[in-house]
Structure 1
Amino acid sequence: MKVASSAPLLFFDSGVGGLSILGPSRAALPNAPVVYAADSAGFPYGTKSEAEIAARVPALLGRLVERFRPRLAVIACNTASTIALSAVRAALDIPVVGTVPAIKPAALLSKSRVFGVLGTDATVRQPYVDRLTAEFGADCTVLRHGSAALVQLAESKLRGEALDPKIARDALAGLIDQSGGDRMDTVVLACTHFPLVEAELMAAASQPLKFVHGGDGIARRIAYLTQGQNWPASSPPGKAVFTRLDNSVASLAPALAEFGLTQMEAL
């Protein structure tokens, strides 16, 4: 099927976390039209029930696809992907790329065979994480910790607010203080918000740690699925769409502009 050059890539997250996926994707496909959709009215997802997310995400993505007619959709949110990816794929007639915890790269990277999975409360308890761990980290000790505060830290950072370093320290302590945590050498950032505060996590680490996440791999997947398609001759302005526009969203405008998102509107 021929795809119009104006058809955008659609990125979806509860908040600004998906920007950690959008960044490498724009680097890989600099002329791609982009719509970045944030469910600000439903934020945060990590503290919601599976049933709420399973109902909300497919319905919202259906509305977004109907409105913007994208060539491809990216669920740039680990929580939404681990819960609703299959339902979204069944409901939409375009390719849908999910974001899953980078457990395979962590298992390949870890020398101590102890690594952590740092995500939202909803993500770290998912059976999907159990399956990835069994498949790729069976010989490893895999520690898990959920941090809602770290999600808020990333949102605050992009608003230019003062940051409390204790939040990053406490998030890492949730892993390090577990049995075997003193031998942990790698941490999976299993929430797309967390790469946005990787510098704060590195500064807070009490032992040498490598951080891994899926942004570059997702970008390669998008490039593969869209190879041979037509793109505009130059990069068009990106559009940021929110399910609720308020003052907290308005304060994100400078950070969004750094990712090429210069237009803002409500869904």
Structure 2
Amino acid sequence: MADSRPILFFDSGVGGLSVLAPTAKLLPHAPLVYVADSAGFPYGTRSEAEIAARVPALLGRLAERYDPRLIVIACNTASTIALQHVRAALDVPIVGTVPAIKPAAEQSRTRVIGVLGTKATVRQPYVDDLARRFGDDCTVLRYGSAALVEIAEAKLGGHNPDPERLRAELDGLFMQAQGDRLDMIVNACTHFPLLEDEMAAVAPHRVTFVDGGPGIARRVQHLLEGQTWPDEHASGRAVFTKRTAHTDALAPALARFGLSATESL
């Protein structure tokens, strides 16, 4: 019999859909469970201690309930803070999400790149290490935005992003010293690729956005190579740790990502 265990994606909100989508393209028969910790949202304004305690405990409950063959922490903040704790606690393959500084540095011509994430992510020593290892000859600008997370959530709930709000957040990078030379922006929050077209339209000059979604999808495919899947094209489910009017409004968008059922934890 085919193995029906799912791949489980975890984020504080809907940002991890930007990681789920490329994975689903590579593994169209894989059963998918997408979990949004709506009761803990947003992670970017929480303390490191809160996230380090909350994420492993919650993923332990989810692993018991859904018996995933692999878990993707599709959240930069949770990954940079809690990934090692989750791996120590669970006997399940875990794939984390890290800022795509390496490909940004490889592609940059001006040698000025931006890291756009949550405040919790951009201040992590892990980001310092990535910048030192892969962008040592680059100027790496950083900006933490809670507003972009909220805008991305609202967009999937059916509200068009306000260009002026987007422009104001991007100014957090472009108005820094050497921001006028910026040619690459790392979307270091999985929510932000959901706004990529709108951000590109209001940027003061042409810039290329990069994120870790495609690379994570290839990593998942590699780790699960040779495993069996159900014969039919898989449908997925979305799980929320707290049901609200906002989570209910997300149903049409979730269906577009192949998540036809929703439930609460």
Q: TM-score range by the shorter chain?
A: over 0.9
Whether 1:158 and 2:181 are equivalent positions in the alignment is no
Which residue is 1:118 aligned to? Answer: 116
Letter in 1 for 2:84: S
Distance in structure 1 (CA, Å) of the matches to 2:64 and 2:257: 24
SS at match of 1:118: strand
Distance in structure 2 (CA, Å) of the matches to 1:201 and 1:147: 13
SS at match of 2:77: helix
Distance in structure 2 (CA, Å) of the matches to 1:237 and 1:134: 41
Unaligned segments of structure 2, at least 5 residues: none
Letter in 2 for 1:190: A
Which residue is 2:202 aligned to? Answer: 204
Report the Cα offset of residue 142 of structure 1: 0.2
Task: Report the more deviating stretch, 228-237 or 26-35.
Answer: 228-237
Which residue is 1:265 aligned to? Answer: 263
Q: Which runs of 4+ in 1 moved over 6 A?
A: none
Report the Cα offset of residue 81 of structure 1: 0.2
Which residue is 1:234 aligned to? Answer: 232
Which residue is 2:98 aligned to? Answer: 100
SS at match of 1:55: helix
Report the Cα offset of residue 170 of structure 1: 1.3
SS at match of 2:234: coil
Identical counterparts, % of pairs: 65
Which residue is 2:141 aligned to? Answer: 143
TM-score computed with the length of structure 1 as normaliser: 0.98
Letter in 2 for 1:138: D
SS at match of 2:164: helix
Report the Cα offset of residue 235 of structure 1: 2.0
Which residue is 2:27 aligned to? Answer: 29
Listed one character per residue, the Cα deviations across residues 192-225 of structure 1 (whole Å, up to 9, x for unaligned) are 0000000110011011100000110000000000
Distance in structure 2 (CA, Å) of the matches to 1:207 and 1:29: 36
- Provide the aligned C-alpha RMSD in A: 0.9
SS at match of 1:12: strand
Aligned residues: 265
Quick one: which of 74, 77, 93 aligns to 1:76? 74
TM-score computed with the length of structure 2 as normaliser: 0.99
Letter in 2 for 1:115: I
Unaligned segments of structure 1, at least 5 residues: none
Task: Report the more deviating stretch, 13-22 or 164-173.
Answer: 164-173
Distance in structure 2 (CA, Å) of the matches to 1:163 and 1:189: 17
Whether 1:176 and 2:174 are equivalent positions in the alignment is yes
Distance in structure 1 (CA, Å) of the matches to 2:177 and 2:73: 33
Distance in structure 2 (CA, Å) of the matches to 1:39 and 1:170: 28
SS at match of 1:32: coil
SS at match of 1:94: coil
Report the Cα offset of residue 163 of structure 1: 2.1
Quick one: which of 84, 87, 101 aligns to 2:85? 87
Distance in structure 2 (CA, Å) of the matches to 1:164 and 1:93: 43
Distance in structure 2 (CA, Å) of the matches to 1:42 and 1:35: 18
Distance in structure 1 (CA, Å) of the matches to 2:116 and 2:166: 11
Letter in 1 for 2:144: G
Whether 1:220 and 2:218 are equivalent positions in the alignment is yes
Letter in 2 for 1:153: I
Report the Cα offset of residue 237 of structure 1: 2.1
Report the Cα offset of residue 4 of structure 1: 5.8
Quick one: which of 37, 42, 61 aligns to 1:39? 37
SS at match of 2:71: strand
Letter in 2 for 1:26: A
Which residue is 2:246 aligned to? Answer: 248
